[in-house]
Amino acid sequence: MEEGLKTADPHDCSAYTGWTGIALLYLQLYRVTEEPTYLQRTLDYVKRILRNLNGRRVTFLCGDAGPLAVGAVVYHKLKNDSESKECVTKLLQLQRTIVSTDSDLPDELLYGRAGYLYALLYLNTEIGPDTVSQSAIKEVVDVILESGKNLSKEERKTDRCPLLYQWHRKQYIGAAHGVAGIYYMLMQPAANLDQETLTELVKPSIDYVRHKKFRSGNYPSSLSNETDRLVHWCHGAPGVIHMLLQAYKIFKEDKYLKDAMECSDVIWQRGLLRKGYGICHGTAGNGYSFLSLYHLTQDKKYLYRACKFAEWCLEYGAHGCRIPDRPYSLFEGMAGAIHFLSDILVPETSRFPAFELGSEKKDDKVEDDS
C-alpha cells in the first residue's frame, strides 16, 4: 500500500479517498496494537494534510472537518494540547456555513451536515465529552431536524416519515447519501437528542424506510427505486444495517434486530463484490456488518461470517475485481481492506471507520440464549 501511495493524488486530503484516510488507518493500527510507531506514522500524515486543506467541503469523510478532527485527536494522544486545540478551533469555525439558512448544503453523511456532525461527535468520543460544547452540537442537530421536517412537509409525508432528506433531488436510503446515515447520526447518544424527538420524529421515519425493504431483505438505493441490485455500504443492506442496529439499541424493539439479521443474510449471500475490497462499495465495508452484529449479539455465527469475508480480502487482487480510481484509499481500496482485517483481531471493539463512535458498553449487549 505504501508503495502504491507514491503515485496517489498529493492534493487529496479527504478521509474518503485521500491522506486523512491513511492517517485513520495508522491510528486504527495504533489502537489495535498499541505500537507507538503507528502513532508517529499517523502524525506524519496529519502534518501533511493540515498543510493542504482546500476549504471546499466541510464533512468528516470528504471535507476539511476530517483532517482537522483527526489532527486534533492525534495531537491530543501525543499530549500536544496547543496544536490539538488549534485544530478544534478551526473545525468549529466551519460551523457558520453548516447552520446558515442561506446555505444549500445537503444533510447527508458524505458532503452534508451529518458528516460535519460526525466530526464533532468524534472529537467528544476520542478526546473528551466537553471538547465540543453541547450547544454547538445542538445547533447542528437542530438544523438537520428542521431540514428533514421541511422536506417531509413539502412532500406531504409528515405523518408517515416526519424526517425526509434528499441529495441531488433524489431521496436516497443508503448510509452515504441517504436517510440511513442521517438517522444513524441523530441516534448517537452523544448527539443528545431528547427521547420525545427520537420517538416522534426519528422512529417513525426509520419504520417508513423499513417498509421499503425488498422481499429479499435488501433495501433500494432510493425511495423511488424498485431495483434489488446494490449490496453496498453506500446503497443497500450493508449501510442500512447500522441504522437498524442503532435503532435496536435506542428503542429496544426486536423488530429492528430482526431486520438487521435479515440484512446480514443478504450480505452473506450477495456481499462478495467484484467492485473491489474497500469500505464504501467493497467487500470490507460489507464485512463490517457482521462485526457490528457480533459486537452487539456475541453470536459467533457473525464472527465466522466476518472472518470468511476477511479471507476474501486477504487474497487481495486474486478475484478479478475492478480496480478502483483510488486503489490504495480507505473507502475505495486497500487501506479499507487493511482496516477491516485489523478489526478482525479485536472483534469485541470493532469500529467501522469514520462511522461508529467508540465502543459499546457491556450492558448494551444482547444476551446469548444459545
Contact 201, 226 (CB under 8 A): no
d(CA 20, CA 13): 6
In the numeric block, the cell 457482521 is attached to: 290
Strand partners, 222: 172
Residue 21 three-state SS: helix
d(CA 301, CA 109): 30
Q: Is 281 annotated as a binding residue?
A: yes
Number of helices (H) and strands (E) in the chain: give both, helices first: 15, 0
Q: Is 307 annotated as a binding residue?
A: no
d(CA 116, CA 62): 10
Distances in Å between the alpha carbon of 44 and those of 48, 50, 72, 148, 294? 7, 10, 14, 40, 34
For every residue of 93-161, DSSP letters joined together read TTHHHHH-TT-----STTTSHHHHHHHHHHHHHHT-TTSS-HHHHHHHHHHHHHHHHHHHHHTT-TTT-
Q: Is 319 annotated as a binding residue?
A: no
Residues that constitute the known binding site: 234, 280-281
Residues that constitute the known binding site for Zn(2+): 234, 280-281
